[in-house]
Structure 1
Amino acid sequence: MKFAIVINTYIRVNENLVDNFDHPTPLNEFEQKNTLYKTIKSINNLNIDENDELNVYIFSIAAHENTSHDNEIKEKTEKILKKLKFKYYLYTNTDIKKYREKYNSNFFSTKGYSEIRNLGFIFPTMNNEDIIIQIDDDELLRKNYIIKAKEILTKNPDKYLITAPYEKNGTIRILGKDILKSWRKNESMDKDIIRLSKTNDLKEAIFGFGGNMIIRKEFAQKMFYPLEIPRGEDFALLLASRLIYENGYEYVGIKPKDPIFKTYYSPEKDITIIHEPPYVPSKNFIFYVEKNLKRFILEWLMIKGQNKLEFEDLKKYSIYLYEMIGYEDFKSKVKKILLELKSKYDVTILEKNIFDYFDEHSKINRFEEYKKKQKEYIDLLRIL
């Protein structure tokens, strides 16, 4: 098997701009604050079968698609990668821009999380990798990760995407306390973790983390992360895949109930990633709420744009998503959240931003728009 590990590392180059990434490494403090070196060390310690191959793809991306510091970014990143014992491919904004111009495709973009994750599908697929493992630069792989991933995939040839947990501070549980009673984000996610981790068998689920996904190339050739998601691109992909599974897409030859588009969760210890983020992304809570409400609006609109998956169906696959977006009238739910938030914060600007965003994105059928882009994506990968 040919395995590809994809690592995204985000870099701040302008202290005066608000970053669209949670915790980018400041370029001027890269040597002191980067976490990539730990990730690379864990990859060097991986066990791999003699007949298998492992390549590493690193997207070292400056925020705001800035290209002016790419030579420095490449130089600093390569200093770390020199210690990597596997073949690697390194990309910066400049490299991606060249591909965008060459193929005249906006899928070559570093605008946000989703766009960069999609690059982690496109480039390994171009090199005909069999299995894509997507992680981030603040994560450590256990030494038998590849061995266990191969074992699971070999035993389950009809499974195309498998997610696994993060372990943080010695636990996979999501134990952070929810600030709002009307928005039990952590509690509902923890319920899923408990439910899905009771036994080691694979569970069909719309639950997982973008920093720990195991994906067959057949999936990556047909599915892409929904674009312009401010955060939570992992759940957006899993949900989009479920909607394609339920509805099919006749125009590109996808029949309803095609097993490629089912997604699964495995709690196996060997593929549980150790997560060591520099800080908690909810430090600025209003900023955190805004980004999350915007992503949930987009996910809600995806479901609203089709008729095969009901909101009630979410319960079977993700308690978390059901709690976050499982409402026929999502705008009323958002109003309740903002009303409670008012007792703790000034939400005047937030309220306007959220409802303007809701109204603007409600003008189109987001699911149908996704399918149009899906055809573009599939066509692109065919010519690469």
Structure 2
Amino acid sequence: MKVTMVIPTYWGRKKSEGFRETDSIYDHPTPLDETGTLGRALESLSILKNKDFNLVILGVSTAQDIREEVESKISSIVKKSAPDAETLFFSYSHLTKVHQHLTQHNKESFIPLLQLDGYSNVRNLCLFSAHLSGSEVAVLIDDDEIFEDPLFMEKALEFIGKTHEDNHVLAVAGYYINPDGDFLINKEISPWMVHWNKIDCMNRAFKKVIRQGPRLKETPFVFGGNAVIHRDLFMKVPFDPLITRGEDIDFLINARMFGYKFFLDNQLSIKHEAPPKPHPEWRKVREDIYRFVFEKRKLETQEALPGMVKITAEDLGIYPGEFLKEDQEERIIRSNKMLAMDYSSKDDKKGVAECMKNIHLA
């Protein structure tokens, strides 16, 4: 079985230049003048016993004017830290050639679907890379992760493409181990989060799905940086390019709508050591609002069609289901009012104004 592992890596302007409003928003892109985590991730691949796979590194920039610098930076890291596995680097110069090929063959209509901008587009290029490699399986990993389990690939491929308890397994999710050694999120819960407590919902969902047996079970959530997807699924269901973030769970929902189940393997873990997110709380909340409002609308506008399965918020468990219910608008309003009060107590007028904008998005 031919396998392609794909690792996207996100890079932004030099730290001294900061973030510009026109830049694409990612959780924690590495500044061009820093080392980042990609080299560490690549070096950790040496622990794997099974290296019988192709490795593709996708280079992503937060801004068009730094793409050449980003491509050069990533290329040097890949050359220095490339593991034993066959490794390919793919970025904007390579994507331009793909676009040119499509144009030459009168297939320009596909060009907007193949872009290195936005989480969903990047994930689709992960799948596209596996397709170009002729692989049956795509293993999606992120650059802020560290392989610690020598048998990771054996576990990743153990169920994929096979029948398990009368289910044809075409998608397997693993999970993250945080720097403290736990899969639960151990972060301080601020008072304003009482109406938007993602941390609590996620932890309750993790305890139910990850901690409890059996080893392989259907899951309502998936981590995009630890996912195994079979060709029979990724050739039929894409990541939705219209969603700005949360593309992993959105993909799960899309798959469910087309009758495909996602399973979580509670032995398939990877260490996740992400840099701190540089964006203010109001922006993080705004990105969540975009994704959850989008998802709720997607669920509400489903049509009854042959071969399609209607999915509800209740089908999506504690997380993300709790954020897709009828009280979504109320949650957004109350949480942003409380966050605005928090900003007001610090005399942060911009923070207050941005929270008010968040409320209007509801």
TM range (shorter): 0.7 to 0.9
Q: Please tell me whether the aligned partners of residues 163 and 169 of structure 2 are also in contact (alpha carbons under 8 angstroms).
A: no
1:296 to 292, 296, 301: 292
2:272 to 272, 275, 282: 275
Q: Please tell me whether the aligned partners of residues 156 and 172 of structure 2 are also in contact (alpha carbons under 8 angstroms).
A: no
SS at match of 1:262: coil
Letter in 2 for 1:126: L
Give the equivalent residue in structure 2 for 1:211. Answer: 225
Q: Please tell me whether the aligned partners of residues 100 and 107 of structure 1 are also in contact (alpha carbons under 8 angstroms).
A: no
Deviation per residue, 1:26-70 (Å, 9 max, x gap): 1122xxx32112211221221128xxx310010011212443325
SS at match of 1:299: helix
SS at match of 2:126: helix
Q: Percent identity over the alignment?
A: 24
Give the equivalent residue in structure 1 for 2:348. Answer: none
1:194 aligns with 2:207: yes
2:154 to 147, 156, 166: 147
RMSD: 2.2
Give the equivalent residue in structure 2 for 1:331. Answer: 329
SS at match of 1:118: helix
2:26 to 18, 21, 27: 21
- Name the CA distance, whole Å, in 1 between partners of 2:93 and 2:358: 32
Structure 2, unmatched stretches of 5+, are: 103-107, 304-308, 344-350
Q: CA deviation at 1:354?
A: 5.5
Give the equivalent residue in structure 2 for 1:365. Answer: none
Give the equivalent residue in structure 1 for 2:257. Answer: 243
Give the equivalent residue in structure 2 for 1:352. Answer: 357
1:177 to 177, 184, 188: 188
Structure 1, unmatched stretches of 5+, are: 246-260, 359-384
- Name the CA distance, whole Å, in 2 between partners of 1:298 and 1:337: 18
Q: CA deviation at 1:339?
A: 2.4
SS at match of 1:344: helix
Q: 1:132 to 1:75 in 2, by over 3 A?
A: closer
Q: Please tell me whether the aligned partners of residues 313 and 322 of structure 2 are also in contact (alpha carbons under 8 angstroms).
A: no
Give the equivalent residue in structure 2 for 1:361. Answer: none
Q: Please tell me whether the aligned partners of residues 11 and 30 of structure 2 are also in contact (alpha carbons under 8 angstroms).
A: yes
Q: What aligned pairs does 1:110-121 form with structure 2 within 5 A after superposition?
A: 110-121=116-127
Letter in 1 for 2:50: I
Q: Please tell me whether the aligned partners of residues 230 and 291 of structure 1 are also in contact (alpha carbons under 8 angstroms).
A: yes
Q: 1:143 to 1:6 in 2, by over 3 A?
A: same
Give the equivalent residue in structure 1 for 2:168. Answer: 158
Q: 1:70 to 1:349 in 2, by over 3 A?
A: closer
Deviation per residue, 1:99-156 (Å, 9 max, x gap): 2343222121111111101100011112211111101111122210111122233463
Q: CA deviation at 1:312?
A: 4.7
Q: 1:222 to 1:95 in 2, by over 3 A?
A: same
Structure with more of its chain in helix, by fraction: 1
Give the equivalent residue in structure 1 for 2:114. Answer: 108
- Name the CA distance, whole Å, in 1 between partners of 2:258 and 2:356: 32
Q: 1:78 to 1:321 in 2, by over 3 A?
A: closer
Give the equivalent residue in structure 2 for 1:55. Answer: 54
Letter in 2 for 1:278: P
Q: CA deviation at 1:17?
A: 3.3
Letter in 2 for 1:348: A
Q: 1:130 to 1:22 in 2, by over 3 A?
A: same
1:46 to 23, 34, 48: 48
Give the equivalent residue in structure 1 for 2:6. Answer: 6
Letter in 1 for 2:199: N
SS at match of 2:113: coil
Q: Please tell me whether the aligned partners of residues 60 and 73 of structure 1 are also in contact (alpha carbons under 8 angstroms).
A: no
Give the equivalent residue in structure 2 for 1:76. Answer: 76
Q: CA deviation at 1:350?
A: 3.6
Give the equivalent residue in structure 2 for 1:135. Answer: 141
SS at match of 2:140: strand
Letter in 1 for 2:19: L
Q: Please tell me whether the aligned partners of residues 53 and 86 of structure 2 are also in contact (alpha carbons under 8 angstroms).
A: yes
Q: CA deviation at 1:97?
A: 2.9
- Name the CA distance, whole Å, in 2 between partners of 1:300 and 1:136: 27
Q: 1:11 to 1:312 in 2, by over 3 A?
A: closer
Q: CA deviation at 1:292?
A: 1.0
